[in-house]
């Protein structure tokens, strides 16, 4: 079975009521490729606004979720609260949270376990720093991140993997198509060896790292790149071109 192309838009800590409504209205009016699964992730404050205004074909993701059902966890959002609000996706393990908020591989894996076991779909992020890439440790770093995930989960069907080289996020630098494909292929090979061939064949692996309307078509042609997790470009009208990159 062919893997359905997937494009996620991570708004990060950007937007206002008016600007996010404008983004959603633009997506609602656009002719989006029906063969692409599109999911957008606004800041938590605007999740309900986006879910209310976006057409049902567009998925909505939170940018974080906690790994406890409820309780005295100030500032956190629960899986139940997201599902209660019609939110079916969450981004976990993004390098900004791993780096800025010191979320370890184990914390990310625990959140992913709790989210998937309780009905959320997860865009699970991995990637290496510039220093790690220059030291030739890219695959080693990603394998360690994957191993931490594997140790906590058994059902991979709710997980989409996003490979995001940290050195290419928001920098304008982009991994070459060959560099991206090499890492995507290695992730798929790891899944085949460490999990199962079925999981390797079915899991979608996205590329994230300064994806734009200029480079998306070439990247989308690589056999192990199943879509994109887009940052800054998801705030612009050109996001539609990225969603339609396979057309």
Q: pTM for the complete prediction? A: 0.96
Nearest Cα neighbor of 98 from 127, 123, 76 is 127
**Structure confidence by residue, pLDDT tens digits, 97-149:** 999 999 999 999 999 999 999 999 999 999 998 889 889 999 999 999 999 99
Q: Which residues are catalytic?
A: 94, 164
Each residue's pLDDT tens digit, 25-48? 999 999 999 999 999 999 999 999
- pLDDT digit string (tens) for 71-97? 999 999 999 999 999 999 999 999 999
**Six-digit token string for 76:** 């956190």
Percent of the chain with pLDDT over 70: 100
Q: What is the pLDDT of residue 43?
A: 98
Has residue 169 got a pLDDT over 90? no
Across 22-51, b (16+ Cβ under 10 Å) vs e yields ebbeebeeeebbeebbbbbbbbbebbebbb
Q: Which two tokens stand for residue 64?
A: 């974080």
Query: Which residue segments constitute the domains of the chain, with CATH numbers given?
Result: 5-243 (3.20.20.70)
Q: Is 93 left (phi over 0), alpha (psi -120 to 50) or beta?
A: left
């Amino acid at each position: 079975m062919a893997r359905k192309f997937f494009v996620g838009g991570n708004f990060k800590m950007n937007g206002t009521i008016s600007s996010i409504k404008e983004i959603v209205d633009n997506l609602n009016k656009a002719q989006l490729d029906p063969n692409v699964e599109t999911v957008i992730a606004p800041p938590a404050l605007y999740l309900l606004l986006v879910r209310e205004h976006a057409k049902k074909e567009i998925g909505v993701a939170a940018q974080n979720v906690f790994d406890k059902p409820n309780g005295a966890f100030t500032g956190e959002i629960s899986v139940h609260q997201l599902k209660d609000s019609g939110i079916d996706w969450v981004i976990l393990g993004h390098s900004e949270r791993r780096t800025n908020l010191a979320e370890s591989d184990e914390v990310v894996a625990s959140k992913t376990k709790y989210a998937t076991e309780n009905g959320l779909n997860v865009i699970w992020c991995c990637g290496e720093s510039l220093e790690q890439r220059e030291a030739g440790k890219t695959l080693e770093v990603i394998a360690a991140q994957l191993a931490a995930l594997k140790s906590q989960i058994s059902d991979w069907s709710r997980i989409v993997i996003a490979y995001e080289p940290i050195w290419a996020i928001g920098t304008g630098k982009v991994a070459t198509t060959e560099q991206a494909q090499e890492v995507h292929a290695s992730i798929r090979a790891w899944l085949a060896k460490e999990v199962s061939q079925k999981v390797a064949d079915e899991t979608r692996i996205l590329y994230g790292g300064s994806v734009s309307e200029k480079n998306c078509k070439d990247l989308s042609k690589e056999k192990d790149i199943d879509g994109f997790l887009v940052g800054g470009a998801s705030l612009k009208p050109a996001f539609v071109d990225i969603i339609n990159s396979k057309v």
